[in-house]
Amino acid sequence: MQGRTQGWIIGLATVGLIAATSSSYMHFQLANDPFYTSFCDVNASVNCTQLYQGPYGSVAGIPVALGGVFWFGVVLLLALADVRGPAASRQNVALYLRVWSVMGLSVAGYMAYISFFILGTFCILCGIVYVAVVGIFFLADSGVTTPLRNLPIAAGRDLGFLIRRPTGLLVTLIFVGSLTVIALSFPESQARISFPEPPESVTENATPAAPPEPTEDQRSEFERFWSGQPRIELEMATEEAPVVVLKFNDFQCPACANTHFAYEPVFQKYASSNPGSVRLIMLDFPLDPACNDQTPNGPHGAACEAAVAARLAREAGEDEAERMKRWLYRNQETMNADTISAALANIARVDTDHLATRFDEIIREVRADIAVGAKLPVQATPTYIINGVLVRGGLSPQLFDQAIALELQRRQIP
């Protein structure tokens, strides 16, 4: 490769490596600290945490960001080989880099598509990685002299050169070995987890299974975390109860649905053991620009109608309200104004135009909730506030249970 091209590739690979390493570090922090907040969590649309902890943030428990570290590391190793490798191998480096850049661009393009068009969320660090990958892709097109058909033969010969050069082999083994150890030992999140979707076979009135008890180490560690958290002074009036749990909710948000079903047995447990001591208050924060000015690029185009429908169902009764919530959570991907209206008519036994007729009236109540969230500020959904302690994204059911227990203990309630 020419000197200037080589310098640009090394520079872009270094920037990309720093960004991918930072992403991996944040993923590690999110897995260990239930209250860690990333510097790039600006709002609901610019939010790294939502991507890291979403279904596309990891593969088999290994963060995708570590794949970026590996990719940029290989680019730098190839650049090193172009400078220090045998003359017979240097002529092949441009081809290797070209093939490697095509693979990287494919993965980066897929992840960018998921981020922008599926999840509607942008990650600053991911954006830096995308730019670096695209730049390397275009720069890698220069200086290729080895035909693609010779790739297997050239790679086999150069691998032999690498094995016979202790320094190059040692550097490669240290790099690959270190990443392998990190990937295999990466901690499973005990604080914020990707909750599984409730199975379709679960009936509306089925009692969910209680969460497993945390270990003694988990209890001790979480108690230390919880005791050190600041508490928000809420201006809004809350219902009287020793433990008040606020949930800022979006009925089209997968994580809101998953935490709803995951936390049901926790609330049922305390309703039985400590009647009236734990109160859940749901506040609407739809990530839908049609009613929420805080999310101009919000990805959920039916969330405003869903919030209104849930309130209208509540007017019909508690059973109807619960059935409507479950329907909304279970039909997130296909819901629209028409399907929501039909479901509301069936569940609340009202006319099919009831949603449209009452929409302007009820949406004012939804906007009042949004205003409360904007002052806190709520950046994403779900956001929980447990007796003033802000929890973004939710906790695992075990730790959510323990948080309530600690708050009851704090109020000296057995």
Residue 113 burial by Cβ neighbours in a 10 Å radius (0-12, 13-18, 19+): exposed
pLDDT score, position 268: 93
Angle formed at CA 299 by CA 293 and CA 304, multiple of 5 degrees? 55
Task: Look at residues 74, 83, 68 and name the one whose alpha carbon lies nearest to residue 6.
Answer: 83
Report the alpha-carbon distance of residue 141 to residue 39 in Å, rounded: 35
Global pTM reads 0.62
Residue 392 Rama label (left phi>0; alpha psi -120 to 50; beta): beta
Task: Look at residues 356, 400, 407 and name the one whose alpha carbon lies nearest to residue 382.
Answer: 400
From-to residues of CATH 3.40.30.10 in the chain: 216-410
Q: Which two tokens stand for residue 349?
A: 């036994």
CATH code that applies to domain 3-184: 1.20.1440.130
Report the 3 state secondary structure along 46-106: ECHHHHHCCCCCEECCEEHHHHHHHHHHHHHHHHHHHHHCCHHHHHHHHHHHHHHHHHHHH
Please give the biggest Cα pair distance in the chain. Answer: 80
Pick the CATH number of 216-410 from 3.30.420.10, 3.90.25.10, 3.40.50.300, 3.40.30.10: 3.40.30.10
Task: Look at residues 112, 53, 120 and name the one whose alpha carbon lies nearest to residue 288.
Answer: 120
DSSP state of 149: G
| CB-based contact 382:253 (threshold 8 Å) | yes
From-to residues of CATH 1.20.1440.130 in the chain: 3-184
Per-residue pLDDT of the chain in tens (414 residues, 90 and over written 9): 567 888 899 999 999 999 999 998 888 777 666 556 677 777 666 777 767 766 677 777 788 899 999 999 999 988 888 777 777 677 788 888 899 999 999 999 999 988 887 767 788 999 999 999 999 999 987 766 778 787 888 788 877 777 777 777 788 888 888 888 877 776 554 434 444 444 443 444 444 555 556 667 667 878 888 888 888 887 665 567 899 999 999 999 888 888 899 899 999 999 999 999 999 999 999 999 999 988 877 778 899 999 999 999 999 999 999 999 999 999 998 899 999 999 999 999 999 999 999 999 999 999 999 999 988 878 788 899 999 998 877 787 888 999 999 999 988 876
pLDDT score, position 54: 66
